[in-house]
Amino acid sequence: MEYTKLGKTGIDVSRFGLGCMRFPENKADAINMVRYAIDNGVNYIDTAYVYENSEMITGEALQDGYRERIILATKSPIWNIQAHDDFEKYLDEELKRLRMDHIDIYLLHNLNPGNWKAVKKYDGLSFLDKMVKKGKIRYKGFSIHNTVEVFKEIVDIFEWEMAQIQLNILGETYQAGIEGLRYGAKKGLEHLS
């Protein structure tokens, strides 16, 4: 497995990560899949509050010494936020589901126009800084499905350590696209996926 530095975090992550959005229906198969990936060099595991049963299964798979071998990313369910305190309420629920005391990389999930508006309205950025100070998260990030213009606005407004965009070979100009990838690289977020 090859490893690379992840954005501004300075941590080494495997070039291939394991996305836990869709697991096999059989829980034992899902747990075996996660552990197989880790046993074969994958050390970046990505889940989210909204991925059905993913945090619970991932948390179970990371028992028995597997947690210490990986970098875990999960994402805040912005669409559920109705007040500033809700950010931490959902983070605490995620920590419980994952059976952990901290998350390595915590992303504000899917900063589409409505979610980005909620982050600004309920001060989600100061929440991230507070959670780093409390030790509940190590690094601050965001995932986005939005235009390149909004991507640039979000990158410029805060000291992010990681960003996750959707990018594929046939979608160079879709959403943030190649232009967003290059913009993020100039801002120190070199390894967007």
CB 97 within 8 A of CB 48: no
Give the model confidence (pLDDT) of 149-183 as tens digits.
888 898 888 999 988 876 666 666 667 666 677 77
Side-chain half-sphere CA neighbours of 17 within 13 A: 20
CA distance 186 to 175: 18
DSSP line for 96-121: HHHT-S-EEEEEE----HHHHHHHHH
The ranges assigned to domains in the chain are: 3-186
3-186: CATH class:
alpha beta
Return phi, psi of residue 107, to 5°.
Answer: -110, 140
Confidence at 40, pLDDT banded by 50, 70, 90: very high
User: Which of 3, 36, 49, 51 does the annotation list as catalytic?
Assistant: 51
- State the pLDDT confidence band at 55, using cuts at 50, 70 and 90: very high
Check if 183 is active-site.
no
For the chain, what percentages of helix, strand and coil (3-state, to nearest 5) are there?
A: 40, 20, 40
pLDDT over 90, % of the chain: 70
Q: What span, in angstroms and rounded, lies between the C-alpha atoms of 189 and 161?
A: 7
Q: How confident is the model at residue 127 (pLDDT cuts 50, 70, 90)?
A: very high
73 vs 107: CA distance, rounded Å: 7
Q: Is the pLDDT of residue 95 over 80?
A: yes
The model's pTM is: 0.89
